[in-house]
Structure 1
Amino acid sequence: MVIRPMGERAFLVEVGSLDAVLALHARLEASRPEGIVDLVPAARTVLVRVDPRVLPLAAAQAWALSAPEQDARREPGPLVEVDVAYDGPDLSDTAALLGVGADELVRRHQAAEWTVAFTGFAPGFGYLVSPDWPYDVPRLAQPRTRVPAGAVGLAAGFSGAYPRETPGGWRLIGTTSAMVFDPDAAAPALLAPGTRVRFRAGSEGLDSRRPALSQSERVDVPLDDRGSGSVPAGETERGIRIVEPGLLATLQDLGRPGAAALGVAVAGAFDRRALRTANRLLGNPEDAAAIEVTLGGLRALAAEDTWFAVTGAWGRIVLDGRVVDPYEAHLWPAGAELHLDWFAQGARAYLAVRGGFTGRTVLGSLSTDLLAGIGPAALSAGATVPIGGPAIDPIPVTPVAPWGAPADDLELDLAPGPRADWFAASALSTLFESTWTVGAADRVGVRLDGPALERSNAGELPSEGMVAGAIQVPPDGRPVILCVDGPVTGGYPVIAVVTDAALDLLAQARPGARIRFRHARPSG
């Protein structure tokens, strides 16, 4: 086993084969101490994510290396039978590519008993393996921009079913209407790691009550959508009415830690420090849900007198025609309009209200995950966002922390990544000595414009666990920083990882902002 660093709060344990990964993952799960947030198996590694407030990283690494062996005769996982209509567009071509007939390929697919080795790519997307499956199936040379929910595919030695509409490069041999991922279920992933799977021919899936989630569907918080305009006279509900959402407005709390093994990212507020500060200003718990507003433009009306605070990005805040300050608690009178103008500095502001916003949670969180498509949809004009119960603390008399406008140019601390040895000796120097420009940026990832980082290993990296802040380098050498809604597994090498504290700074980076990196100081 080899320990590879993944920032200052996680590491990879690398072994020699998928079988060794499954055995290691079983050992770690069986002896898991408090402070281990996530264990994410992949093709050759297990990602271990740690809460350093509970368990020091060095202690977690020592535990991983010394986890006791488990009985090789482990109890098999539960068996799930999935009905498949073998009508995929790639069935005949894939069979011909493998030198067999389509009927023989289907027969082999059904005869094999599959096991979910790990999940990733999307919530509930299980990578299934079988000792009875003899084929190594090449991915499509040109991935599809749209693979429908329920598609059953093959790639390398794996089979799998897409839980939702998404791009993908697997060869599609059939479809199922099975509910592959249901965030409201006690066990959200039908194909969780360790589950045994049998495919059988049929025109209907295992659960035909409704199809798997498509890209356009969300597990929505029950918001009121009776239309925009002023709050009706005599309105008694606790909430605010969205008049205009601006460029993007979503509900966010501190996310869904601990669900990465199901393919679910933490998500939550991108600038967690700003969210916590807004809640402290109002006497709320730090993890209460607020509205994350991207680049500004939001207008909203209060249904009743409400206290609010705005933190994070910098722009004019206009309440009922008068400008008010950020980082302060203000009374928002019933029927008054609050306008967060377009931001002059920073990218994301947080509108919190006393009592916090509320609604139906998904896997314990109210957060919107844009990549996975779980949680409430982005807020739209006419929706009313409910407010929760009383706050737990009084509103502070004085501001809880000094504040100021987010900087235009950023210096971000980097901790070591697991695949620095995949790069030429000059790559790290280039990374730290260059000034990078923010290109395309959202909650999934931030693309950096600058010099290419030269790789010394041009091979294909087996998928492995990822964390927010990981700097992946695709073949063109241009780095991409994975963010809070990023995928939980990935196949591009990670050269370094933005520290947890620096992620809050990255949340305020606008396109065109300049970034320089520096080495993080060793913790402890």
Structure 2
Amino acid sequence: MRPVGTRTVLAELSGLQDVLALQAALFEAPLPGQQDVLAAAETVMVRAESPAAARRIGRILLELDLAAPTPQDGGLVVIDTVYDGEDLAEVGQLTGLGVEGVIAAHCDQTWTVAFAGFAPGFGYMVGENQALEVPRRSSPRTAVPAGSVALAGNYSAVYPRRSPGGWQLIGRTGARMWDLDRPEPALASPGHRVRFRAVRDVVQMAPEPSASAAPEAERPVVEAGSGLRVLSPGIHSLIEDLGRQGHSALGVSAAGALDRASLRRANRLVGNAPSAAAIETVSGGLKVQAVGDQVLAVAGAPSALSVVTPSDNGSGETERQRTVPVASPFALLDGEILTIGVPEAGFRSYLAIRGGVAADPVLGSRSTDTMSGIGPAPLAAGQLLPAGGEAESGVVGSPELQPDYPHDGVTVLDIVPGPRADWFDQASLDSLCGQDWTVKPESNRVGMRLQGTPLQRSRTGELPSEGTVAGAIQMPPEGLPVLFLADHPITGGYPVIGVVVDHQLDLAAQVPIGGSIRFRISPEYTTPNPGANEAPAGEPAGSPRKGSN
């Protein structure tokens, strides 16, 4: 048993058969406090509802007697592939097969989807031999095209959509690996057998829809109802709630608001349920107009909030402007315009409307998952966001206190050692916590890429893909950390050196591009003895702290 943060355990097993057996057992008879289960190459990750539940689950797992699962046969899937990938020649050299030999070896065997992960529709396929076993790239690509056929370790896979990735690319396909309009969204799910067929060309997938792709004049006109019309979406504005839990086996992460406390605060102010959908926006610039009288609140990064009442054409009235406070409910009357300014501190703001934003739920959530493409498209100018019916109490009558947000200094984040901290020597662990890391511009909701003095691994070789969590600090071979956020891939093949404690993920989400982070071993948690077969030890010693900045 290895702890992954404070609420998750990673069970290491002797082989894929035991992995599938444990996964089947946990799906058939969930343990008390179990929230999610994710199988990978040699591990099963179990997410619990609390640190105490994680410790209890860890003890139970060590005592389970695993029986072989019933074999699954999902049928045969044939995937037409053009073998022209960027890494094809390198794979030919690594394997000694040459380009033609790699193509023949890939097509001449049947692959079986052992488990899903990384992203929806991404199936880890096991071949019949080890002829194509190759390492991942030393540095992952920030964007791998959808339909890319790839190799890593002893697995093959197809990237279902454009996403970051470190696998070796050998070809491309037009097959749509994930489609929510199908009864079974995944084209190849665990148990399916797959054959790759070499072709000269493929039918290209239709481009993924984008709310901002078409000019405003070409977008359909939405009949006015009660809600908010988007006049300017700002840099990056999304609909988010508290996320979709329990779908890791489909390759779907929880997603949801990055600063959960701010979302809850904004909803509480307008009388909504805590999980009501709201707007998450970064760095200001969002401008919306009320359609009908509305009650709103903005929480999160403190910003100037200005409200303009347009002049009534023909009445002689002039335009009027007023300001409203953050973390306090206010009325936005029909036709009035709210603009969120650039934050004075922090990075993300949350705009809640009484009743919540009405949007179609996907897998139980209205959240946008930028990694998988699930959920509503990013906000676009001209879009009407109807108000829903998720109000459950009266509007709060007075402002609420907000925590401090990152400003000019260094934001300190408490961590616990990760499940693969033993891949690093003490000097690297000291360096992780002994320097200030800068948030790079390539950062997004998937993860924060950090710049600093690279860390060195003490162990060589490849780590089989395994489950991971938001807050995990993953370490690619180049030695520069990636701090996973809510839209992270659910599995990864780079060692996790540490995990940010859960209650400080909200603070991490507020560190802006160019901001500085310093990691600190959390004084509130103890770590298990090295090599001990125990789940995470220690619960919070008192109330959660907001952290330093």
Q: Using structure 1 for the length normalisation, give the TM-score.
A: 0.86
1:22 to 20, 23, 26: 20
Which deviates more, 333-342 or 8-17?
8-17
Superimposed CA distance per residue, residues 271-324 of structure 1 (whole angstroms, 9 cap, x where no aligned partner): 000001111111111111111110111111111100000000011001122111
1:41 to 39, 42, 54: 39
| Match of residue 311 from structure 2 | none
Residue 149 of structure 1 pairs with residue 146 of structure 2: yes
Indicate if the aligned counterparts of 1:81 and 1:197 stay in contact, CA closer than 8 A: yes
Alpha-carbon distance in 2 for matches of 1:454, 1:346: 31
2:284 to 296, 299, 313: 296
Residue 406 of structure 1 pairs with residue 402 of structure 2: no
Alignment of 1:154-193 (within 5 A): 154-166=151-163, 168=165, 170=167, 175-193=172-190
| Match of residue 511 from structure 2 | 509
RMSD: 3.4
Superimposed CA distance per residue, residues 381-417 of structure 1 (whole angstroms, 9 cap, x where no aligned partner): 2222222126122213344x42255242433221231
| Match of residue 393 from structure 1 | 393
| Match of residue 354 from structure 1 | 354
| Match of residue 417 from structure 1 | 418
Alpha-carbon distance in 2 for matches of 1:142, 1:345: 32
How far residue 111 of structure 1 moved from its aligned partner, in angstroms, is: 5.5
Indicate if the aligned counterparts of 1:154 and 1:173 stay in contact, CA closer than 8 A: yes
1:479 to 481, 499, 503: 481
Q: Using structure 2 for the length normalisation, give the TM-score.
A: 0.82
- Structure 1 residues 107 and 84: CA distance shift in structure 2, 3 A: same
Alpha-carbon distance in 1 for matches of 2:245, 2:16: 25
- Structure 1 residues 488 and 80: CA distance shift in structure 2, 3 A: same
Indicate if the aligned counterparts of 1:256 and 1:365 stay in contact, CA closer than 8 A: yes
Indicate if the aligned counterparts of 1:31 and 1:68 stay in contact, CA closer than 8 A: no
Alpha-carbon distance in 1 for matches of 2:67, 2:95: 37
Alignment of 1:412-451 (within 5 A): 412-440=413-441, 441-451=443-453
How far residue 156 of structure 1 moved from its aligned partner, in angstroms, is: 3.4
How far residue 190 of structure 1 moved from its aligned partner, in angstroms, is: 2.3
Alpha-carbon distance in 1 for matches of 2:286, 2:130: 54
**Secondary structure at the residue paired with 1:314?**
coil
Residue 519 of structure 1 pairs with residue 540 of structure 2: no
- Structure 1 residues 308 and 225: CA distance shift in structure 2, 3 A: farther
1:136 to 133, 138, 145: 133
| Match of residue 80 from structure 1 | 76
Alpha-carbon distance in 2 for matches of 1:143, 1:439: 15
- Structure 1 residues 432 and 204: CA distance shift in structure 2, 3 A: closer
Which deviates more, 277-286 or 375-384?
375-384
Superimposed CA distance per residue, residues 330-361 of structure 1 (whole angstroms, 9 cap, x where no aligned partner): 11101001010111111001000001001222
Indicate if the aligned counterparts of 2:228 and 2:384 stay in contact, CA closer than 8 A: yes
Alpha-carbon distance in 2 for matches of 1:303, 1:140: 51
Alpha-carbon distance in 1 for matches of 2:492, 2:87: 26
| Match of residue 469 from structure 1 | 471
- Structure 1 residues 402 and 38: CA distance shift in structure 2, 3 A: same
Alpha-carbon distance in 2 for matches of 1:116, 1:459: 24
How far residue 123 of structure 1 moved from its aligned partner, in angstroms, is: 2.0
- Structure 1 residues 105 and 457: CA distance shift in structure 2, 3 A: closer
Which runs of no fewer than 5 residues in structure 2 stay unpaired? 309-320, 525-537, 541-549
Residue 32 of structure 1 pairs with residue 54 of structure 2: no
Superimposed CA distance per residue, residues 143-199 of structure 1 (whole angstroms, 9 cap, x where no aligned partner): 777654334344432222221234556555655443311134443222223333344
2:49 to 48, 51, 57: 51
1:257 to 217, 242, 245: 245
How far residue 266 of structure 1 moved from its aligned partner, in angstroms, is: 1.4
Residue 380 of structure 1 pairs with residue 380 of structure 2: yes
**Secondary structure at the residue paired with 1:361?**
coil
Alpha-carbon distance in 1 for matches of 2:427, 2:94: 41
Residue 315 of structure 1 pairs with residue 308 of structure 2: no
Q: Which amino acid aligns with 1:471?
A: I
Alpha-carbon distance in 2 for matches of 1:368, 1:454: 35
Alpha-carbon distance in 1 for matches of 2:97, 2:436: 54
Residue 194 of structure 1 pairs with residue 210 of structure 2: no
- Structure 1 residues 293 and 140: CA distance shift in structure 2, 3 A: closer
Indicate if the aligned counterparts of 1:164 and 1:213 stay in contact, CA closer than 8 A: no
Alpha-carbon distance in 2 for matches of 1:435, 1:319: 39
How far residue 80 of structure 1 moved from its aligned partner, in angstroms, is: 3.4
Q: Which amino acid aligns with 1:181?
A: W
| Match of residue 455 from structure 1 | 457
Matched positions, count:
508
**Secondary structure at the residue paired with 2:157?**
strand
Which deviates more, 447-456 or 104-113?
104-113
| Match of residue 235 from structure 2 | 247
Alpha-carbon distance in 1 for matches of 2:451, 2:103: 46
Indicate if the aligned counterparts of 1:319 and 1:336 stay in contact, CA closer than 8 A: yes
Superimposed CA distance per residue, residues 399-436 of structure 1 (whole angstroms, 9 cap, x where no aligned partner): 4x422552424332212311111111133333334444
Alpha-carbon distance in 1 for matches of 2:355, 2:127: 51
Residue 277 of structure 1 pairs with residue 265 of structure 2: yes
Alpha-carbon distance in 2 for matches of 1:479, 1:90: 25
Which deviates more, 90-99 or 162-171?
90-99
| Match of residue 11 from structure 1 | 9
Alpha-carbon distance in 2 for matches of 1:92, 1:500: 40
| Match of residue 333 from structure 2 | 333
Which deviates more, 320-329 or 509-518?
509-518
Alpha-carbon distance in 2 for matches of 1:31, 1:278: 37
Indicate if the aligned counterparts of 1:415 and 1:520 stay in contact, CA closer than 8 A: no
- Structure 1 residues 7 and 100: CA distance shift in structure 2, 3 A: closer
Alpha-carbon distance in 1 for matches of 2:523, 2:237: 32
Alpha-carbon distance in 1 for matches of 2:85, 2:44: 34
Which deviates more, 328-337 or 261-270?
261-270
| Match of residue 313 from structure 2 | none
Alpha-carbon distance in 1 for matches of 2:130, 2:434: 49
**Secondary structure at the residue paired with 1:28?**
helix
How far residue 99 of structure 1 moved from its aligned partner, in angstroms, is: 6.4
| Match of residue 266 from structure 1 | 254
Q: Work out the percentage of aligned pairs sharing the same amino acid.
A: 43
Superimposed CA distance per residue, residues 185-221 of structure 1 (whole angstroms, 9 cap, x where no aligned partner): 443222223333344578999xx8xx6575x435x79
**Secondary structure at the residue paired with 1:346?**
coil
Indicate if the aligned counterparts of 1:127 and 1:159 stay in contact, CA closer than 8 A: yes
Q: Which amino acid aligns with 2:522?
A: H
2:209 to 213, 217, 220: 217
Alpha-carbon distance in 1 for matches of 2:72, 2:101: 28
- Structure 1 residues 447 and 173: CA distance shift in structure 2, 3 A: closer
Alpha-carbon distance in 2 for matches of 1:434, 1:99: 42
Alpha-carbon distance in 1 for matches of 2:205, 2:364: 21
Alpha-carbon distance in 2 for matches of 1:20, 1:34: 21
